[in-house]
Amino acid sequence: MRQVVMHAPGDVRVEDREDPTIIEPTDAIIRLSATCICGSDLWPYRGVEPVDHQVMGHEYVGVVEEIGADVRTVQVGDFVVGSFWASDNTCEICRAGYQAYCTHRVLMGTIGTQSELARIPLADGTLVATPGMPEPDLIPSLMAASDVLGTGWFAAVAAEAGPGKTVAVVGDGAVGLLGILAAQQLGAERIIAFSRHADRQALAREFGATDIVEERGDAGVARVKKLTDGLGAHSVIEAVGTQEAMMQAIHSARPGGHVGFVGVSHDVAIPGDELFMAGVHLHGGPAPVRQYLPELIQLIWDRKIEPGKVFDLTLPLESAAEGYRAMDERTATKVLLTL
Amino acid sequence: MRQVVMHAPGDVRVEDREDPTIIEPTDAIIRLSATCICGSDLWPYRGVEPVDHQVMGHEYVGVVEEIGADVRTVQVGDFVVGSFWASDNTCEICRAGYQAYCTHRVLMGTIGTQSELARIPLADGTLVATPGMPEPDLIPSLMAASDVLGTGWFAAVAAEAGPGKTVAVVGDGAVGLLGILAAQQLGAERIIAFSRHADRQALAREFGATDIVEERGDAGVARVKKLTDGLGAHSVIEAVGTQEAMMQAIHSARPGGHVGFVGVSHDVAIPGDELFMAGVHLHGGPAPVRQYLPELIQLIWDRKIEPGKVFDLTLPLESAAEGYRAMDERTATKVLLTL
C-alpha cells in the first residue's frame, strides 16, 4: 500500500509499504476513504519535535476490509469513523467519558493513517459505523468528526457552553472554528470569536459567531469584558496552546466561569496566583472524541452541520508533501487527503 | 475598643482604637464573641508581605449592636456569622454562587476583625443570623464556619466530592482537615488524607478519613494510585498552596477527575503540558463562603458537625501576640481568640 512517511523535518514522501495485517483478535483493517493533515503534524515537519522515517497521520474514515476474530460491533463493508486514540470503550475511564485516557489506549499516530490501509486496534471500542455508505460530499465532514470537530466539541462541553451562555473562542484555526459550531449546537446565546482573518471571520459567523474581536491579549480581554457588562464570558474555549492564548482565555472568563482548553500546550506555565484570583473552572487535554462520535455522525448524516467546511485544500494522498507545505506556509488552514 | 494591630513583622500589639461607626446605610456594627488568627496572617508576620501598623483579622462571629437605615435581614441583638469577603449577595456573580467575587465586595481584612467591635459592610448580603443565641460550646464551630470550614467545604464542592467518590486531600492544616469533614458530609465513599502528624491524622480520621498516606510528591501520588486500581482519585482537595502540593494534587486525580484548590498560591506555576496530559478539572480560588453559611450554621446548630475541633489553642484577644507566636512556631494549628 501507499503511505506517507516523514524522513526528516520538511521531507515528506509517499512510499510503498507492506499492507497491515490483523495482529490482535480485536483489530480491524480499514481501507481509507480520506485522511488529513493535523496542525500537530507540523511540529516534526518544522523540526520542533524529532522525526526519523516516521509514519504520519491519526485521522481517518474508511471502509472495514477485515476484522479480527473477537470483533463484534463493526462488520466488513461498514463505513466507519474513529478517533486518534484507539480505546476499548469499556474500562472505568472510558465509561466515565474519557476515552482518550482508556487504560488500554493506543495512539493512532504510532500506526499512521495517512495511508491506503490502516490497522485499527480495539475496533469494537474505537470505530463507529455510519448509518450507511455516505454520499461523497459527506466525507469531509465525517473526516472532521475524527479529530477537529470532536476536539472543538469537547472544548465547548468543557467550557459548559449552553443556553443563556456567552461563549468566547480563542483561536480561529480548524478546532477553534468548530468550537464555535459546537457552542452554537449546544445552544449558546452569544458567541464571541477572536479572529483577525477575513476568511476565518466569515466561517466563524457561518458557524454561529455573533461577535468578532480582532484584539488579542489584554486588549482582547478588555473587549470581551466590555461586551459582557464588565463580567467576562461564562464559557471560554482555548484552541491555540500558547501562553498568551491560555492567559487570554482565563482572563476572558468571569469568576465561576468555565475555560475548556484543547490547544496542545507549548511552553505554557499558568501562574498559580492568577488562576487563584480568576476563580474559573479549567478543564482540557486530548479530547475524548469517541464519546461524541455517535452524536456527531448523526448530525452530519442528517445534514444539520457541515464541519467539513474547515478543509480549504483537498489533495490526493500522493500529493501529501504539497499539503504539508501549504499548511506550513499557512496558505491552507486544514488539508484533506483523498484516496 | 481594643484591636489587634501589626506594627511590623513579628510585632503584634493590642491597642485602644476608636469604635467603628455606621458609614453606609447598608453597614452593621457587631460586637465580636470570638475571632481567630488565619494562616494568611502569618505572611506579614513573617515579613513575606509588607506590613506597617495594619489592623488584622477577617474572621468573625458576634452580636449585632447597630444597623444602618437600609439593613433589613439582620436585627440588633442577632448572633451572626459572616465571611472574609463582604458581598451584596444580589449581583449576577453572587447569584451564580461566587460571592467572593461580588461586584461590590469588600475585603474584611482591610477593616480588621481581631477587635472588640467591627463594621460589616453590605450587612444584608454578608451576615447570616443563627437560629438563636448559641450555647458557648458552639462558638468555636460557628467561628470555623466564617472561613476555614467554608473554605474546606468549597474545596470539596469544587473537587465534586460525593457518593461513590474517592477523595484525596493534600494538606492537613485546618482547611485540609475541614475539607475531609466536608467530603464526608457530602457523602464521599473513601477519603485519603495526606498527613505525617499523629495528632492531625487522628483528627483527620475523626472527620472521616478512611486512609492516611504519609508520603508526599511522586511517592504520595504513587500511593494514591495504588489505593485506586492505578487510576487515581475521583476528587482531590489542594489546601496548601505550594508548587509541590498543587502538582501532587493534579497527579493524584484520575483523568476526568476534579481538583479543588484553595491553598493560596505562592510561586506556583502549573506546566501547561502536564495539565493537558492529566485531563483533570481544576477549580479553586477564594471560597464563596457566604454561599454555604446557612447550611453550615444549621449543621453546627444541630450538632451534626464540630469543625471547632481544629482550634487547638484558645486565648483572650489581649493575648493575640502569643497566639501569633504559637502559630508561627507551629505549636498551634489554629488559634481562637475570645472576647
* Average pLDDT of span A224-240: 98
| Chain A residues touching B40 at Cβ < 8 A | none
pLDDT confidence of residue B40: 87
| Chain B residues touching A261 at Cβ < 8 A | 276
Mean pLDDT for chain B overall = 97
Q: Given CB atoms, is A92 within the 8 Å cutoff of chain B?
A: yes
Nearest to B269 by CA among A36, A327, A246, A315: A246
Domain borders along chain A are 2-133+306-338, 152-284
Whether B275 sits inside 8 A of A284 (CB atoms) is yes
Q: Which residues contact B17 (CB under 8 A, 6 or more apart)?
A: B1, B2, B3, B5, B55, B115
Whether A256 sits inside 8 A of B96 (CB atoms) is yes
| CB distance A282 to B283 below 8 Å | yes
The closest CB to that of A98, out of B243, B265, B279, belongs to B279
| Chain B residues touching A96 at Cβ < 8 A | 256
pLDDT confidence of residue A265: 81
Q: What is the ipTM of this complex?
A: 0.95
pLDDT tens figures, B291-318: 999 999 999 999 999 999 999 999 999 9
Interface list for A 237-276 with B (CB within 8 A) = 241, 243, 246, 254-256, 261, 264-273, 275-276
Whether A93 sits inside 8 A of B231 (CB atoms) is yes
Assess whether pLDDT exceeds 80 at residue A104: yes
Task: Give the CATH fold of the A152-284 domain.
Answer: Rossmann fold (3.40.50)
Q: What percent of chain A has pLDDT over 90?
A: 96
Residues A268 and B269: their CA atoms lie apart, in Å, by 9
pLDDT confidence of residue A296: 98
pLDDT confidence of residue A329: 95
The closest CB to that of B282, out of A266, A271, A283, belongs to A283
pLDDT tens figures, A64-94: 999 999 999 999 999 999 999 999 999 999 9
pLDDT band at B56 (very low <50, low <70, confident <90, very high): very high
Whether B270 sits inside 8 A of A272 (CB atoms) is yes
List the single residue in B with minimal CA-CA distance to A280. B283
- CA–CA min distance B281, chain A (Å): 5
pLDDT band at B329 (very low <50, low <70, confident <90, very high): very high
**Which DSSP letter does residue A307 get?**
G
- CA–CA min distance A231, chain B (Å): 8
Residue B152 φ/ψ, nearest 5 degrees: -65, -35
* Average pLDDT of span A50-68: 97
pLDDT confidence of residue B253: 98
pLDDT confidence of residue A13: 98
Taking the alpha carbons at both ends of chain B, their separation in whole angstroms is 12
pLDDT confidence of residue B267: 87
Residue B131, exposed/middle/buried by CB under 10 A (0-12, 13-18, 19+)? Answer: exposed
Q: How far is residue A290 from each of residues A101, A332, B74, B82, measured CA to CA in Å?
A: 11, 27, 54, 47
Residues B75 and B65: their CA atoms lie apart, in Å, by 9
The closest CB to that of B272, out of A231, A254, A270, belongs to A270
Nearest to B265 by CA among B97, B85, B43: B43
Q: Given CB atoms, is A48 within the 8 Å cutoff of chain B?
A: no
| Chain A residues touching B246 at Cβ < 8 A | 272
pLDDT band at A266 (very low <50, low <70, confident <90, very high): confident
| Chain B residues touching A267 at Cβ < 8 A | 272
| Chain A residues touching B240 at Cβ < 8 A | none
Question: Distance of alpha carbon A228 from its chain centroid, rounded?
Answer: 29
Region class of A25: left (phi > 0), else alpha (psi between -120 and 50), else beta:
alpha
Assess whether pLDDT exceeds 80 at residue B262: yes
**Alpha helix (H) ranges present in chain B?**
42-45, 92-95, 123-126, 139-145, 148-158, 174-185, 198-207, 217-227, 243-252, 272-278, 289-301, 320-328
pLDDT tens figures, A127-184: 999 999 999 999 999 999 999 999 999 999 999 999 999 999 999 999 999 999 999 9
Whether A270 sits inside 8 A of B266 (CB atoms) is no
pLDDT band at A267 (very low <50, low <70, confident <90, very high): confident
Assess whether pLDDT exceeds 90 at residue A60: yes
| Chain B residues touching A228 at Cβ < 8 A | none
Assess whether pLDDT exceeds 80 at residue B193: yes
Q: Which helix (DSSP H) or strand (DSSP E) does residue A321 occupy? A: helix A320-328
pLDDT band at B50 (very low <50, low <70, confident <90, very high): very high
**Cell numbers given for B41:** 496572617
Assess whether pLDDT exceeds 90 at residue A230: yes
pLDDT confidence of residue B138: 98
Whether A269 sits inside 8 A of B272 (CB atoms) is yes
pLDDT band at B266 (very low <50, low <70, confident <90, very high): confident
Interface list for B 268-327 with A (CB within 8 A) = 268-273, 275-286
pLDDT tens figures, B93-147: 999 999 999 999 999 999 999 999 999 999 999 999 999 999 999 999 999 999 9
**Cell numbers given for B170:** 493534600
- CA–CA min distance B138, chain A (Å): 31
pLDDT confidence of residue A328: 95
| Chain A residues touching B280 at Cβ < 8 A | 283
CATH of domain B149-284: 3.40.50.720
pLDDT band at A40 (very low <50, low <70, confident <90, very high): confident
Task: Give the CATH fold of the B2-133+306-338 domain.
Answer: Quinone Oxidoreductase; Chain A, domain 1 (3.90.180)
